[in-house]
Amino acid sequence: MQQKISSFIGRRRNWSIPYVLFLGFFVVVPMLLIAYYAFTNDEGNFTLANIRKFWVHPEAMNTFIYSVVVALITTVLCILIGYPAAYILSKMEARKARLLVILFILPMWVNFLIRTLATVALFDFLKLPLGEGALIFGMVYNFLPFMIYPIYNILQKTDQNLIEAAQDLGANPRQVFLKTVLPLSVPGIMSGVIMVFMPVISTFAIAELLTINNIKLFGTTLQENIYNGTWNYGAALSLLMLLMIGLTALLNRDGNSKAAEEGGLI
């Protein structure tokens, strides 16, 4: 018996079992619960009322569309502002670049509420009005480092040989960038997009604080529903978000774990 136990532990692949169980209980089951709650009503009976409510109710739908627009604007702004920054950093000499990269990444590590409140403080200090402009500013401010870092990472890793090959084949510096460096950096851009787009839709704190609760994003809607006890509707809305995520995940199959690695790690 002892032998059996120790050889069971000996098989390294069995070490994954605790985690698999953990994942099952804390990840898979909760997600299934979302689906369950989405399709049931207060008494626990199966219903499509929650889903219908979303389609029929203009409020949630409008918030959703508005959030997507805000997310798109933020993402595009982050790319437009962040790519040049990442590019400049990647061309700098390693030692200088490293210090600057730290400065750009640093905000990511400061508590996100503190960062948001700092933005509020800035606006207060400059006597600027809070509202839509502040919202966009706050979003870009918050998420810009998340776009710069993966793009910087991938630009840095560009094979020098490929750049030389392009030069050898007749490309001037501008052409080298447009035809070789830029296309090869797209996975980095995708990483950044993944880390910006969905989070923008689903945060509520930033919207709440930077617009004194005037503007609601989809994340706010979700949060409100849970707080008010209308879990079923909240679950239905969550299901909608999950569908969106699922779609983007399918469209970007290989990029996903790479994105997580590039984006999350030091």
Partner 1 sequence: MIRRLLSSSYLGILLLMLYAPILIIIVFSFTEAKVLGNWTGFSFKLYTSIFRGGVHHSLTGALWNTLIIGLVAAFGSTILGTMAAIGIHNLQPRAQKAVKMVNTIPILNPDIITAISLFLLFISLGISQGYATVILAHITFCTPYVVLSVLPRLRRMNTNLYEAALDLGATPFLAVRKILLPELRPGMISGFILAFTLSIDDFVVTLFTIGNEGLETLSTYIYADARRGGLTPELRPLSAIIFVVVLILLLIINQRAAKRKL
Partner 2 sequence: MQQMTDIITVEKLSHSFGDKTVLQDINLSIAKGEFVTILGPSGCGKTTLMRLIGGFLKASEGRINIAGKEMTQAPPHLRPVNTVFQRYALFPHLNVFENIAFGLRLKKLPKEEIKKRVKQVLKIVTMMDYEERDVDSLSGGQQQRVAIARAIVNEPEVLLLDEPLAALDLKMRKDMQMEIKAMHKKLGISFLYVTHDQEEALTLSDRIVVMSEGKIQQIGTPTEIYNEPANSFVADFIGESNILNGAMIEDELVEFAGHRFECVDKGFALNEPVDVVVRPEDIYIFDLSDAAQFSGVVTSSIFKGVHYEMVINTPEGFEFLVQDYHCFDVGKTVGLRIKPFDIHVMKKERLCNSFKGVVVDKQQVKFLDTLFKCNEAGLYAAGTEVNVSVAFEDVTLFDNEEEGTLRGVVKFILYKGNHYHLRVLAEGTDQIFVDTNDIWDDGDRIGISIAPESIHLEPA
CB of 86 to partner 2, least distance (A): 18
Residue 222 found at the interface with partner 1 (CB under 8 A): yes
Residue 83 found at the interface with partner 1 (CB under 8 A): no
How many residues belong to the site for partner 2 (CB under 8 A)? Answer: 18
Contact (Cβ atoms closer than 8 angstroms) between residue 218 and residue 67: yes
CB of 30 to partner 1, least distance (A): 3
Phi then psi for residue 46, to 5 deg, are -65, 135
Which residues fall within 8 angstroms of residue 50, CB to CB, at 6 or more apart? 38, 39, 41, 232, 233, 235, 236
Contact (Cβ atoms closer than 8 angstroms) between residue 149 and residue 263: yes
CB of 150 to partner 2, least distance (A): 17
Residue 168 found at the interface with partner 2 (CB under 8 A): yes
**CA–CA distance, 63 with 219 (Å, rounded to integer):** 9
**CA–CA distance, 166 with 58 (Å, rounded to integer):** 53
| Sites for partner 2 among residues 99-128 (CB under 8 A) | none
Residue 131 found at the interface with partner 1 (CB under 8 A): no
Residue 20 found at the interface with partner 1 (CB under 8 A): yes
Token pair of 175 as six digits = 């052409």
CB of 264 to partner 1, least distance (A): 5
Neighbours of 96 (CB within 10 A): 10
Residue 13 found at the interface with partner 1 (CB under 8 A): yes
Residue 177 found at the interface with partner 1 (CB under 8 A): no
**CA–CA distance, 251 with 143 (Å, rounded to integer):** 22
Residue from 40, 68, 107, 184 touching partner 1 (CB under 8 A): that is 107
How many residues belong to the site for partner 1 (CB under 8 A)? Answer: 86
Residue 165 found at the interface with partner 2 (CB under 8 A): yes
CB of 187 to partner 2, least distance (A): 10
| Sites for partner 2 among residues 183-242 (CB under 8 A) | 183-184, 186
The closest alpha carbon to 32, from 45, 43, 23, belongs to: 23
